[in-house]
Structure 1
Amino acid sequence: MQAKGMLAGLSALLLLSTCSALYEDQIKKFDWRGVNVGALRQSRVDLNHFQPRILLSTNEGVVASVCVKTGEIVWRQVLEQKPRGDIKLLQVSGFSDDSSDTAAAPIGSNMGFDMLTVQGHAPALVRGWNTNMGALEWEWSTMPLNTERALDGLWFYSRSVLYHVVPTWKSHLEVTAYFASSGHSTGSTSKVMASWITPENCLLSGTYYICVDGKQLISLDLVSKSGQAFRTALEAEPKSKLQPLAGLNGVLIADGKLISVNKDQAVCSGLQSSSYAVGTFNYRKILAYADVASGILKINAVYLDNCSPVAELEQGVPFPEHFGTPSLNSFDCKLKRNGEGKGCLFLFSTSAESILAVQGGRIRWSREEALANVIDTQFVDLPLADTEGTLENEMKGKAGDIVSAFLRRITTQAVQIRSLFLHVIGLGPPPTATQRAGLVRDSFGLHKMLVVLTRSGKIFGIDNISGKHHWQLYLPNVKGFDNAEQMRLIIQRSAKHFPLQPLCTILAQDAANGNGVLYRFNPITGQASEGGLLQLDYKVKQLSLLGETENDFVKGILLLDASNKVHVYPQHATSLADGLYLYTADVKTSELTGYFVKYAGGQLSSTHIWNVRLGGHNSEQQIIGVAGKNPIEHVHSQGRVLGDRSVLYKYINPNLVAFVTQAPDATHKSILNLYLVDVVSGSVIFTMTHRKVRAPLSIVHSENWLAYSYFNEKVRRTEITTIELYEGKSQANSSVWSSLQAPPMPLVERQSYIIPTIVEALRETITERGITNKHVLIGTSSGSIVEMPWHLLDPRRPIASTTQGREEGAIPYIPELPLPTESHINYNQTIARLRNIYTAPSGLESTCLVVATGLDLFVTRVAPSKTFDLLKEDFDYILISIVLVALTSGSLIVKHLASRKLLKQAWK
C-alpha cells in the first residue's frame, strides 16, 4: 500500500511538471477575439419560451442561439465545410407552416427534438438538436444520390414527416418521405411528371412546388395524393425572381406582392413591400412587412384573416446607411411586464450581412456578421498629437543652417509651452474627434487602426488593442473580380506625413456592368476623401502600386484595363509609371503575360514583351496559388555564414513570383507543379513537380525562401516543402538588382516535412527592419495558429549531425514537425473556419502584429526573437529604483568620506 501511495504521488508530481500555459494575468492582455455566426439565412424568435432565445442558421453552416436582450451568442455549433455543411432546412418545434403540425417522433420512439436541421446533399444529413444547450440529440443520413441531381434537392417538413424533393429538369419530380426523427421511409419514392420545371423559374413554398410560365403560375401540392397541377393567372409576368414566404403554405412573393396558389390560404393582395414575415399577435396570425424610406425603417402589420392593420405594431426607426438594405426575417410578440399590451421583437438581415433586432421603436442591438467573410486587412498608423506632429515637421526641415534650425527649435518649444499653459488653465483648443477616441500614436507603434474589408462590401475601422469598432461604411453593388480575385484594399498614404491625412483606396468591380470602382477614404475617421466614389468606364485587368509623389506623398495606383491601356490615379503621379513592368496570369489556361509601361508625350502606353504558358501542351493545368514577396519587407542579412566561416549569399530577387499549378493525371491521379518566374524578364528560374499530390494549398514567399503545404494522396497526410535559393559564395551585384542582366541561376536547397494537421494558412512574421528572426505562422483546421521557427523548416538541415552543421546551428533533419502547445499563439481562443493570416510590423523591431480571419477574428502580437527592445511586463521598477538610489547615495557618501580622509592626511 505504501509503495502504491508513493507511486501515485510520483505520478502526480510528473503530471504537474509537464503542465505549461500562459500566466493568468496575460490572458487577453495583448489579444482579443471576435466570435461570429455568419450571414443570416433562417431564424426563429421565441419570446414566450421559459428562456427567450433566437434560433438561427447561417450561410456559413452554423446553427446558434442568440440572446434576445444583447445579441450575444448563447451557444454555437459550427457544422462541416460546404457543401457538406450547407444548411437546407431549419425546423423548430412549434414553428411550422401547418398550425396542427408537431415535432414529435412516431409512437414508441424516444427520438423527439427541439430543432431539426437538414444539411448537405450527397448524402444529406438530418440532425436533431437540444436548443437549451445546443447539444446534438441524434442524426441520420439519406442514401447517396448523383451529386449533380442532389445539389438541386429541396426539403420541407409537414406533420412529423420530412420530405425530400429532387427535380429532374424538364422531366419530373421525385418525392421521398421520411419520419423526421428516425429516418425510416414512409413508403416508396413517388415520381410526379412535370415537364415545365426549370431551375430559374421554380421554387418550393411549404408543400407546394411552384413554377412561373409567362403570365401564369403552375403549382403542385406534393403531399396531395392526386398529383394534379393547378394554374393561377397573373396580372403581368414577374420581373424579379420569385421568393417563398415562410410560414404560409403555398404563398410566394412576386415583385413585392403576395400571391397564393393555396385555396385554403387567403392573402392581402393590396400590400407591396420588399420583405414580409408571418407571426402571431393576440392569438391571431399577422403579416408584418418593412421598408426603408428617407433613412427611416417603417414596420407595419396586418391581420391575415381580414387584412385590417395592427396599429400597435406600426413604428418608424432611424436606419443608418452602413447597414445596407434590410430584410425582415422573423419576429415574435410577448405580453409586457406591466400588462399593458404586447411588445414585439423584429429580426432583420441586411445586404451588408448584419443582423439587427428592432424593438420599441429603436435598434436594440446589432451583430456585424460581415466580419465572418474578411477578404483583406491593413494595419494603419494612427496620427500624431498636434505637438508631436509639429516637432516631427521640424525634424524633417530641409534647411541645413545651424542658426535657422536653432531659431525653429526655440519657436517650436515656445509654442509647445504656450499650448501646455493654455491647456492647464482650460483655455486650450478642444481635442479633436480622433484624440477623444484615443486614436493617437503611441511611443512603440503598437496601437494601430485595423482596416477590414469584407466580401459584402462593408469596411470597418477597428482598434487593434481594444477591438472597438470606431467607424464602418458600406459600398453597395460591388463584388470581386474574375479569376476568383477579391476586392483590394490599398494604402496610398500613411499617417506618417503630418499634417496630411492618411488615404486608403478600395478597388472593386461594379456588380451591374463589371467596370472598375474606386473608393477613397480616410482610414482613421472613415470619411470619404479625394471625391470618394469613382466609377470607372473600363474593366480592370491588373493593378500596381507606384512610388510616393514628392508633394503630397501619395502612392499612385496604376490600372491596366481589358484593352491593355494604362491608367494612373491620381493623374499627377503618371510620370512615376515610366519604366514599370507588369504581368497578368490566366488561372484557367496557366498563361502568364508580361508588359512594359512607357511614358512619352504625356501619355502612358503598355507593350507586350513576353509570354509564358506554364502548362505547356497540357491544357488541363490550372493555377491554384500565386505568391509574391511582401513589398514592405526589409532583408537585413544578405548571406548565411557557413561552418568554415565563408558566406553563402542569398538569391534575393524582388521580381521573383511563385506560381503553383494543378492538373489531373491518368497515372498519378493528380500532379502539382511549382514555378519560380522572374516577372520582369519572363524567365523561369526553377521548377519542381509533386506527383500524387493535391490541394488544399497554402504558400508563403519571403526573402530567399519559399514554403508551401499540400496533401499527399499516396500516404494520406499533409506535408510542407521548403525551398531556399542562394547565389553562391560570391555575390553578383551587391547594390542594385537587375533582372535584365541575366543573373546566374541560383543554387536551390529543398526539403519536405510532415505536419500532423491540415494547414489552412501560412504567413511569415515581418518587422520594421528585418533584424528579428523569421517565423512562419501556420493556421490549422482545428482553429489554432502555430508559430514555427524557420530553423525547424530549414531545407539545409543535415541528415546526420556533423561538425559543420553544428557550427551553423542547423538541427539534424527529422521529417516530423513538432507542434508543442506552447507554440500556439491563440492558446484556447479557437478560430473557427480559419482562412487567412495577415501580419504587419510595429514600431518595435522585436514585435509583429498579427490578425487571423475566418468565421472568427483574432488579433494579437508575436515576438519571434523575444522582446529584446522592451522591458518585460513584470519588470520590478521599485527594486531597480531602490538599487539606483542606494548606489547614488552610497557614491555620494563615499565621495564625502574620501574627501574628508584626504583633508585629514593633508593636515598631518
Structure 2
Amino acid sequence: MKPFVSLIFGLIGLVTLTSSVYVDEAFKTDWQLSHVGQLTYGNTVLLKDSVIAWTEANILASINSTNGELIWRKKFDEILCNGILIQSSSSSEYVNLALYDSSKGTSTISKWSISDGFLEYSFTIDGRVDNILSESSPNYDELILLVNAETSLVSPFSIDAKTGQVTQLDTYEVSSGDIDINDSQDKYAISSRFKDIVFTKKAVIQESLQLKLSQQANGIITLLKNEILQWEKDESLASIISSGFIGLAEKEIVSEDDLVYEETHDPLTAYIQRVKRHITALPLLVRYFESVLHSPFNLKDTSIKDLASNETDKFGFRKLLILTASNGKVFALDTFNQGNISWTTDTSEYIGKAFKSFTLDNSKVLVVDQELEAVLIDGLDGTVLTTYSLANNQPITDVFSIKSNSTVALFGTTETNEVVPIDVHELLIGDLVYFTQKVANTLNGYLYDPKSNRVSETWTFTPQEGHKIVKVASRDLNDMSASIGKTLADRSVLYKYLHPNMLAIATTSQEDSSLIISIIDSVTGRVLHSKIHNENVDTSSIVDLVFGEHWIVYSFSSYGSVKGQKVGVWDLYESADTNDRWSSSEAYSSFDYFPEPQVISQSYILPEKIKTLGITQTKYGITTRDVIMYLENGQVASVPKRALDPRRPVGEQPTKEQMQEEGLSIYAPLLRLDPKLYISHSRNILGNGSKGQIMSSATFLESTSLVVVIAGDGDIFFTRVTPSQPFDVLKPSFDKLKLFLTIGALVVGIRIVKPMVDRRQLNVQWGI
C-alpha cells in the first residue's frame, strides 16, 4: 500500500510542474493593461484610421483613430535612442524609423507596414541620424535622405522595392545650402535637393486631416477631430515609481478576548457568554446562505468599501493594486475586476512632483515630494485625509521606509550620504532598529535609537575593486515557513538555514566580466557565503536576484564558450549531514557566533533571457514556491522551485524513492520551459526589464497566490497562480446544484430503502 501511495503523490508532483490555472479561468482571473508611454514631439503620423507614434518608452505603436485602442506595438532595445519617425513618401502604407545605438555609434533605418507592423526592410549605417526624408522618383523605388547635424553630412540611399537592396549614393555636406531647416514652436520644415529631386518634410504633431493629437502633463492623450473629442487615453501608468497591495483583513471567527474570557471564568459563565456570542452572530448566518446562493467568485459589482464592512470576500482574491505614477497620480486597480480603476487621485493638486510613495499597513497611501511635503490618502476610496510637511533642516536626496513591528518609519539620505530619521512617530519607541540601505556603491548597516532619535552607521559592505552593486535582495517579512527541514527519501532531514537576518548581494565588474554573489548578515555585516562567476558575464545585460525561504535564485547572461541566459540557485542548510541541527539548542542573536550555512548550488541554462524574477507567496508557506520569470520575449513563466532543485542527481538517474518522495529528476543543464508554465498565455508583455518588478501577495486560501508583473515603462500583468494545485477550493464551474440534488436524492433513497432493509433483516431473524 505504501509504494502505491508514494506513486500517487509522485504523479501529483509531476502534474504540478505543468499546470497553473484551470482552462476555464484563463483570461478571466488574469488581465493585462497595455501602454505605449509618453509621446515624443514630431514623431507622430496621423492617418484617417490610425495614429502611428514613437514614444519615450522606445515603442513604435499603432493606435486606432476611432476609439484609441492599440492595433499593434513594437518594443525596441532600451539602448537605442533619438528615434525619428516619418511617413514613407514612396507609399502611404508604410512609415520609416531611424534609431541611434550609442554603444556602437551606428544608426538603424527601418520601414514598417502601417496596417500590421510588418518589417519591410532594415539597414545600418555609421554615425547618428538627426533627420530623415523619403521620396519616390522615376529612377528609384524609394530614395531616403539621412541628415547628420553634428557632421553636417547628408547621405542619400536608394532602396529597390522588389529585392529590398539598399545602395548608398554620394554623400555631401549640408553647408552647401542644399538643406534648409525652418523651426517654429509647433511645426518645422526640412527641404533638400538631390539630383533634381526635392525632399520636403513637414511635421506637425497636432494637426493632420482635421485631427489634433496632444498629450497633457498629466499623461492623458487626446484626439480631436474638428475640435470634437474622439477619445482620450491615460498613459500615466506607463511610468510607475511605486507599487503595493491593499487587501481586506481576514475576519476572525473567535477573537482572542473571547478565548481569554472563557479560560478565566467558570464553565457556566463561559457557556452563557458563548451562547450570547452565537446569538449576536446569527445575522452572519443569513449572509452565509446568501453567499452560497451567489458564488464567492462574483464580487465585481461590490465596492471595496462594502467588502471591508461586510467581509464578503471569503477567499481574499480581491485586492487593490496601488500604483503611483511619476506625474503624481495614484491609481487603485481592482485585481478581481480585470484591473479596472477603482479610484484615482492626482497628488499634484496638493504637493509638488511625486518623489516617493509608500503603501502602509493601515490601508493608507503616503506620497512624498522632493521637498518632503506629504499627502496621506485613504487606500480604499482615494480620499485625501491630510497633507503635512516632513521637512527637516537637512536637504534630503532619497527617502526610504523601514518596517518594524507591523509599523512603517521613514528615513532619508542627505547630500553627504548621512541617514537621518524623517517620520518615526511613536511607533518605534523602546525598540532598537537595525536596517540596511544602499548608498552610492556601498551597502551600509544602521542602528536607530528611539531614545536619542539618532541613526548611527554600524558596518559597511564595499564590493571588490572594479565591482558595482547591481542588486540587493532579502527575504520578504510576510513569507511564512511551514517547516524547519526538508524530508528526504530515506526519511532523514536536512535542516533549513532559516537565519532571519540575511540578505543577498550581486556585484558585477565590467573590467573582468565577473559576477559575485554574497550572502551577509544584515545586522553585523558578516559575510556568510560568497561565490564568483568568471565565465565571461555580460555586465550590460540584466542581473536579477530573489531570496526565498532558505534559498536564492539569480540570473545573468554570459558570452563565453557556453553563452546564453544562466540561472543559479543556492539552497542553504544548517549542515551537510542529515538530522544535524545546531539552531535547536538555544536562542541566539546576530552578535553571537553561529555556523555559516552549508550551500548546495547548481546552475541552469535557459533558452530565453530573463528580465525580472519574483517568488510566489502564500498564507502559511505550506504550498510549494514557484519562481516567476518575466522573459525578454514578453512572456511570464511560473517555474516550480522543484525544477530548480540543486540536489537533482548529476549523471545518474534518481532512485525510485527520490522520484516518489522528493520529486527529483536527473539534472539537465538546459532548463526547457514547458508551454504550460507560461501563465501569460498568448499575451505579449512589453516593458523595460531593468525597471521591472514582480510582486506577490497571499490570499486567504493557502493554495493561491496573487502575482503582478510591472514591466517597467510599459505593461501591467496580473494573475492568480496555484503552485501546488487548487487543493482547497472547488472550480468556479463546479455545479453546486447537482451536488445538492445528488445529496437530496441519496437522502430520499435511504429513507425509502431503510424500511425495506429493516423488514428483510427482521424476516431473516424470524426465519421467514
Q: TM-score, normalised by structure 2?
A: 0.79
| Residues 1:560 and 1:436: Cα distance change in structure 2 (over 3 Å) | closer
CA contact (8 A) 2:537 2:559 kept: yes
Alpha-carbon distance between aligned partners in 1 of 2:385 and 2:720, rounded to the nearest angstrom = 31
Aligned to 1:245: 185
Alpha-carbon distance between aligned partners in 1 of 2:722 and 2:730, rounded to the nearest angstrom = 13
* Cα shift readout 1:255-292 (whole Å, capped 9, x = no counterpart): xxxxxxxxxxxxxxxxxxxxxx987xxxxxxxxxxxxx
* Cα shift readout 1:369-425 (whole Å, capped 9, x = no counterpart): 2323344432211479xxx89x8889879755634564455456479989x99xxxx
CA contact (8 A) 1:394 1:408 kept: no
Within 5 Å, which residues of 2 pair with 1:70-149? 70-76=67-73, 78-84=74-80, 86=81, 88-92=83-87, 103-104=89-90, 114-121=94-101, 122-142=105-125, 144-145=126-127
CA contact (8 A) 2:330 2:344 kept: yes
Letter of the 2:154 counterpart: T
* Cα shift readout 1:557-594 (whole Å, capped 9, x = no counterpart): 13144264642535222416x21112232343xx2322
- State the secondary structure of the residue aligned to 2:750: helix
| Residues 1:828 and 1:659: Cα distance change in structure 2 (over 3 Å) | same
> How many Å apart are 1:154 and its aligned residue?
1.6
Which of 592, 603, 628 is 1:741 aligned to? Answer: 592
Letter of the 1:135 counterpart: F
Does 850-859 or 804-813 show the bigger shift? 804-813
Alpha-carbon distance between aligned partners in 2 of 1:858 and 1:181, rounded to the nearest angstrom = 40
Alpha-carbon distance between aligned partners in 1 of 2:544 and 2:647, rounded to the nearest angstrom = 21
Which of 430, 444, 455 is 1:606 aligned to? Answer: 455
Aligned to 1:189: 172
CA contact (8 A) 1:378 1:489 kept: no
> How many Å apart are 1:684 and its aligned residue?
0.4
Alpha-carbon distance between aligned partners in 1 of 2:286 and 2:671, rounded to the nearest angstrom = 59
Letter of the 1:474 counterpart: D
1:722 pairs with 2:569: yes
Alpha-carbon distance between aligned partners in 1 of 2:748 and 2:187, rounded to the nearest angstrom = 84
User: What stretches of structure 1 of length at least 5 have no aligned partner?
Assistant: 1-18, 94-102, 105-110, 193-219, 231-242, 252-276, 280-328, 334-343, 422-430, 481-486, 495-501, 549-553
> How many Å apart are 1:883 and its aligned residue?
3.4
CA contact (8 A) 1:394 1:409 kept: no
Alpha-carbon distance between aligned partners in 2 of 1:491 and 1:469, rounded to the nearest angstrom = 17
- State the secondary structure of the residue aligned to 2:749: helix
CA contact (8 A) 1:113 1:137 kept: no
Aligned to 2:59: 62
Aligned to 1:531: 387
Aligned to 1:274: none
> How many Å apart are 1:751 and its aligned residue?
0.9
- State the secondary structure of the residue aligned to 2:743: helix
Letter of the 2:467 counterpart: Q
Which of 853, 865, 875 is 2:724 aligned to? Answer: 865
* Cα shift readout 1:836-878 (whole Å, capped 9, x = no counterpart): 3221111110011111222222211110000000113443435
Aligned to 1:629: 475
Aligned to 1:490: 358
> How many Å apart are 1:757 and its aligned residue?
1.3
- State the secondary structure of the residue aligned to 1:572: coil
Letter of the 2:563 counterpart: R
| Residues 1:399 and 1:362: Cα distance change in structure 2 (over 3 Å) | farther
1:681 pairs with 2:532: no
Letter of the 1:837 counterpart: I
Alpha-carbon distance between aligned partners in 2 of 1:82 and 1:433, rounded to the nearest angstrom = 38
Alpha-carbon distance between aligned partners in 2 of 1:437 and 1:606, rounded to the nearest angstrom = 38
Which of 656, 668, 671 is 2:514 aligned to? Answer: 671
Which of 794, 807, 825 is 2:679 aligned to? Answer: 825
1:693 pairs with 2:537: yes
> How many Å apart are 1:606 and its aligned residue?
1.9
* Cα shift readout 1:795-836 (whole Å, capped 9, x = no counterpart): 111222354745644322221112111111111112123533
- State the secondary structure of the residue aligned to 1:693: coil
CA contact (8 A) 1:163 1:175 kept: no
> How many Å apart are 1:459 and its aligned residue?
2.3
> How many Å apart are 1:623 and its aligned residue?
0.6
CA contact (8 A) 1:587 1:624 kept: no
Greater relative contact order (Cα < 8 A, sep 6+) = 2
What is the aligned-residue identity percentage? 25
* Cα shift readout 1:445-497 (whole Å, capped 9, x = no counterpart): 111111123344432111112221122233448779xxxxxx65433224xxx
Q: CA RMSD in A?
A: 3.9
Does 404-413 or 115-124 show the bigger shift? 404-413
Alpha-carbon distance between aligned partners in 1 of 2:92 and 2:68, rounded to the nearest angstrom = 28
1:788 pairs with 2:639: yes
Aligned to 1:503: 364
| Residues 1:812 and 1:541: Cα distance change in structure 2 (over 3 Å) | same
Aligned to 1:28: 27
**Number of positions where the alignment pairs a residue of Structure 1 with one of Structure 2:** 684
* Cα shift readout 1:305-356 (whole Å, capped 9, x = no counterpart): xxxxxxxxxxxxxxxxxxxxxxxx41345xxxxxxxxxx5432212233312
- State the secondary structure of the residue aligned to 1:801: coil
* Cα shift readout 1:714-757 (whole Å, capped 9, x = no counterpart): 12211111111111243333485621112111111111111111
CA contact (8 A) 2:574 2:598 kept: yes
Alpha-carbon distance between aligned partners in 2 of 1:404 and 1:652, rounded to the nearest angstrom = 42
- State the secondary structure of the residue aligned to 1:592: strand
| Residues 1:440 and 1:890: Cα distance change in structure 2 (over 3 Å) | closer
Alpha-carbon distance between aligned partners in 2 of 1:558 and 1:81, rounded to the nearest angstrom = 36
Alpha-carbon distance between aligned partners in 2 of 1:902 and 1:83, rounded to the nearest angstrom = 87
Which of 243, 255, 260 is 1:377 aligned to? Answer: 243
- State the secondary structure of the residue aligned to 1:822: helix
Alpha-carbon distance between aligned partners in 1 of 2:261 and 2:228, rounded to the nearest angstrom = 58
Does 402-411 or 435-444 show the bigger shift? 435-444
| Residues 1:896 and 1:545: Cα distance change in structure 2 (over 3 Å) | farther
> How many Å apart are 1:26 and its aligned residue?
3.8
> How many Å apart are 1:676 and its aligned residue?
0.8
1:556 pairs with 2:408: yes
Aligned to 1:351: 217
| Residues 1:87 and 1:686: Cα distance change in structure 2 (over 3 Å) | same
Within 5 Å, which residues of 2 pair with 1:460-475? 460-465=331-336, 466-475=338-347
Which of 838, 860, 868 is 2:695 aligned to? Answer: 838
Letter of the 2:521 counterpart: D
Alpha-carbon distance between aligned partners in 2 of 1:571 and 1:408, rounded to the nearest angstrom = 37
Choose 1 or 2 for highest CA Rg: 1
- State the secondary structure of the residue aligned to 1:124: strand
Alpha-carbon distance between aligned partners in 1 of 2:19 and 2:345, rounded to the nearest angstrom = 43
1:177 pairs with 2:155: yes
Letter of the 2:152 counterpart: E
Alpha-carbon distance between aligned partners in 1 of 2:244 and 2:453, rounded to the nearest angstrom = 30
Alpha-carbon distance between aligned partners in 1 of 2:92 and 2:413, rounded to the nearest angstrom = 59
- State the secondary structure of the residue aligned to 2:453: strand
CA contact (8 A) 1:761 1:779 kept: yes
CA contact (8 A) 1:556 1:568 kept: no
- State the secondary structure of the residue aligned to 2:513: strand
Within 5 Å, which residues of 2 pair with 1:877-896? 877-896=736-755
> How many Å apart are 1:773 and its aligned residue?
0.6
Alpha-carbon distance between aligned partners in 1 of 2:647 and 2:235, rounded to the nearest angstrom = 45
CA contact (8 A) 2:44 2:85 kept: no
Letter of the 2:221 counterpart: I
Alpha-carbon distance between aligned partners in 1 of 2:308 and 2:185, rounded to the nearest angstrom = 44
Letter of the 2:410 counterpart: L
| Residues 1:736 and 1:43: Cα distance change in structure 2 (over 3 Å) | farther
Alpha-carbon distance between aligned partners in 2 of 1:479 and 1:699, rounded to the nearest angstrom = 31
| Residues 1:898 and 1:626: Cα distance change in structure 2 (over 3 Å) | same
Letter of the 2:581 counterpart: Q
Alpha-carbon distance between aligned partners in 2 of 1:753 and 1:83, rounded to the nearest angstrom = 27
Does 678-687 or 796-805 show the bigger shift? 796-805
